Structure 1
């Protein structure tokens, strides 16, 4: 029982230690709606950005590391809100899965990056999901 209480207390402390970010609009459309906003840490460093279309849908969103480089999952969207691309970054370089979509939501292509280089097999599809071609990038290192 004490172990469970200890785990809950530690979990709550970790949640409470999460850094709060301040939201700051940095670019506005002529009609006054937000086109881009940043989320800043307590030192004023941009940790996250979100850009919007005029209709209010998200255009692109992602986070930055302490050096101001892209970090983690970055997502971009078509104006209708459908995903356009999803990719992972590590210290500003593409690293991990990358997937790009057609406007109808089906996958256009997908593959992996490692330190900004394409790796492994990349698959390309038609709008109905049929495989068009596969590209071997095992020699790109």
Structure 2
């Protein structure tokens, strides 16, 4: 069991530590010694329970403001602000009856993300930024579910990924790019499941792989290429398992090996 105190001698926090990590329940107090919340530490989550409705003020151990706002039925309501220990806002919630804008900040004051919510659910455009101020992600939401075009950028501003979403699931074209702007891959999804063709390119723009998916599983012909564009491997998949005859070629197009598969198992190999 440990105890922390404010400068005025009143208890700030008490709880248990195991391997220098909080376990079980941690209690937080205000500067008058009254409990204002407790947190239940579970394996992968922390459940915070706020004890009093109305105006709420919570401070760091050093007395600086940690967060303030208003609670209704134990939930952050309307306007709410949480601060870093240096005094910069960490996030600002501007709600009216559960609808409004939430903005997150880096410790240097730059905006890290911003979203609009309706009934506390993301609705409309959501943006994320890198700490240097460059745009990182843009997505679109309807009633808490991702829809439409998603875009992800490298920190240098180059486009990294574009993907189509529908009702919270990846649905449609999915493209990746290398940092130099050349395409890296192209494939397709239906309700979060990979379908159809998949193509991959190296940083120089040379096609290096072609595969096919059926209901999330590799099926049909698979082709790999050398960096000079010559075919490296031709093979076949069935339900994610290699089957049939696989042929390997050197970068001059000469056949150098054959492999024979049954039910995903290599049963024979010939070298030339």
CA distance in 2, matches of 1:139, 1:73: 22
- Superposition pairs of residues 116-131 of structure 1, within 5 angstroms: 116-131=192-207
Structure with greater strand share of residues: 2
Matched, 1:49 2:126: yes
Counterpart in the other structure of 1:109: 185
User: Are residues 62 and 139 of structure 1, via their aligned partners in 2, closer, same or farther at CA, if it must alter by over 3 Å?
Assistant: closer
CA distance in 2, matches of 1:62, 1:139: 26
Query: Which segments of 5 or more consecutive residues in structure 2 lack a partner in the other structure?
Result: 1-98, 218-272
CA distance in 1, matches of 2:147, 2:176: 18
Q: Which has the higher contact order (CA 8 A, sep 6+)?
A: 1
Counterpart in the other structure of 1:64: 141
- 3-state secondary structure, aligned to 1:108: strand
Counterpart in the other structure of 2:173: 97
Query: Which segments of 5 or more consecutive residues in structure 1 lack a partner in the other structure?
Result: 1-20
Structure with greater helix share of residues: 1
Q: Provide the TM-score with structure 2 as the length reference.
A: 0.41
Contact 2:122 2:145 in 1 (8 A): no
Compute the displacement of 1:23 (Å).
4.5
- Equivalenced residues, count: 118
Counterpart in the other structure of 2:242: none
Compute the displacement of 1:22 (Å).
5.4
- 3-state secondary structure, aligned to 1:137: strand
- 3-state secondary structure, aligned to 2:155: coil
Question: Which structure is larger by alpha-carbon Rg, 1 or 2?
Answer: 2
Q: Provide the TM-score with structure 1 as the length reference.
A: 0.76
Where does structure 1 differ by over 6 angstroms across 4 or more consecutive aligned residues? none
Alignment RMSD, CA only?
1.8
Matched, 1:40 2:105: no
Contact 2:164 2:172 in 1 (8 A): yes
